[in-house]
Amino acid sequence: MSALTEQVEDLPAFGYGRWRQPLRSRRDRDAETIREVLRNAGRPEFGHPGDGFFVDGGRDGDPFLVACASRARRRTLSPAAEIAAYTTALTTAGMRVEPPTGPDLSPLLLHVYPRQEDERAIEPDTGTSMRKPPAAR
């Protein structure tokens, strides 16, 4: 096996996310897609010491959890307004968004279901667009 073949095999299946984070699985890719949509909508990502969104979950067919992290003592964002902005951005991007139920019930959480596999925009091997053309109206 050549050195070039070994390098190609070491590349993550779905490329790299922000800060060159390897996207090795569909779950990694989908979580990064959610983060990218929210960042592009101007929503701040959670980081110490600020408020913002956090993405987790998405394993074994479960929805992703998108949380609005906001500390009451140092709050710079309205959590309700942030959740509304997350919902708008994600649904505009074609994702299904629902309020959580059961043990995840919280006004600061959303369940997010990414677009279905056949609606994916990026071909993982080449990075070329594979978006389906819009349906005729």
- Which structure tokens are listed for 89? 């951005």
Distance in angstroms (rounded) separating the CA atoms of residues 123 and 14 = 8
Mean of the pLDDT values across residues 106-128? 67
Q: What percent of the chain has pLDDT over 70?
A: 71
The more confident residue out of 12 and 34 is 34
Tell me: the pLDDT tens digits for 66-110?
A: 999 877 666 667 888 899 999 999 999 999 999 988 887 888 999
Average per-residue pLDDT for the chain: 78
Within a 10 A sphere around the Cβ of 91, how many other Cβ atoms?
Answer: 13
pTM here?
Answer: 0.72
Maximum mean pLDDT: which of 16-30, 66-80, 120-134? 16-30
Distance in angstroms (rounded) separating the CA atoms of residues 70 and 92 = 24
Residue 15's pLDDT band (cuts 50, 70, 90): confident
pLDDT for 48? 62
Distance in angstroms (rounded) separating the CA atoms of residues 17 and 64 = 17
pLDDT for 72? 63
Beta strands 109-113; 64-69: pairing state? antiparallel
